[in-house]
């Protein structure tokens, strides 16, 4: 297993389910984004050594997202078979990965300001949508897209929350 793949596993990403493209030579991982029709409509690159301070720069930033417009693009469509009556909605890929690694459907909106078209898209899933939100202004925006919303502890997101927090969240919605 390559160093980047090891890093992704440490971030709770199920490599068999999500199948990102890993380029160890460039130090970058590419996640493909899909719509409900099964079309690739974008991608997000992740550079663990990149800077969050570099605003969406494809060569320097930690994250870079490109979507075709006006498409709705999310990460995690491949997980929708896991739980047919429930889907968790998160802001980021590694937030969703905390749930998919435990066998739950989870989508990442990949935005701190989701568009209203996403709400319509989620409605088409015909499932209960639980938004798992950071405790900040972006989280408050994401909360409007779920049938229910759960907020992470201050200063945390689901990707770096404790296993205890994730277990309690799953227990609450798996009954």
Q: What is the pLDDT of residue 5?
A: 97
Sort 84 into a burial class: Cβ within 10 Å, 0-12 / 13-18 / 19+: exposed
Cα Dmax for the chain: 45
* Residues 121-135 pLDDT 10s: 899 899 999 999 999
| Entry pTM | 0.90
**Does residue 85 contact residue 67 with C-beta atoms inside 8 Å?**
no
Supply the mean pLDDT for the chain: 91
pLDDT of residue 68: 84
Q: What span, in angstroms and rounded, lies between the C-alpha atoms of 92 and 105?
A: 14
Going by C-alpha positions, the residue among 106, 95, 93 that lies closest to residue 152 is 95
Cα Rg, the chain, nearest whole Å: 15
Q: Which is it for the CA torsion 19, 12, 37, 73, positive or negative?
A: negative
Top pLDDT among 30 and 156 is at 30
Whole-number Å distance between alpha carbons of 118 and 146: 11
68-124 confidence digits (pLDDT tens)? 877 788 999 999 999 999 999 999 999 999 999 999 999 999 877 788 888 988 998
- For residue 37, the model assigns a pLDDT of 82
Alpha-carbon span 64 to 62, nearest angstrom:
7
Distances (CA, A) of 38 to 33, 45, 71, 170: 10, 20, 12, 27
Look at residue 114 in the predicted model and tell me its pLDDT: 83
Fold of 77-174: Dna Topoisomerase Vi A Subunit; Chain: A, domain 2 (3.40.1360)
Q: Is the pLDDT of residue 8 over 90?
A: yes
pLDDT per residue as tens digits for the range 15-25 = 999 999 999 99
Q: Specify the domain boundaries for CATH 3.40.1360.10 within the chain.
A: 77-174
């Amino acid at each position: 297993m390559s160093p980047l793949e090891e890093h992704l596993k440490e971030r709770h990403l199920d490599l068999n389910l999500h199948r990102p493209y890993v380029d160890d030579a460039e130090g970058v991982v590419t996640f493909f984004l899909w719509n409900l029709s099964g079309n690739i409509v974008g991608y997000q690159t992740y550079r663990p050594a990149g800077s969050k301070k570099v605003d969406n720069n494809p060569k320097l930033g930690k994250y870079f997202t490109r979507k075709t417009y006006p498409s709705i693009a999310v990460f995690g469509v491949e997980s929708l078979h896991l739980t047919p009556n429930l889907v968790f909605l998160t802001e980021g890929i590694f937030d969703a990965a905390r749930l998919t690694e435990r066998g739950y459907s989870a989508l990442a909106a990949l935005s701190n300001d989701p568009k209203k078209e996403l709400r319509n898209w989620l409605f088409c899933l015909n499932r209960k949508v639980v938004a798992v939100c950071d405790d900040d202004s972006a989280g408050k925006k994401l909360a409007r897209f779920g049938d229910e919303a759960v907020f992470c502890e201050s200063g945390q997101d689901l990707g770096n929350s404790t296993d205890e927090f994730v277990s309690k969240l799953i227990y609450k919605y798996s009954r």
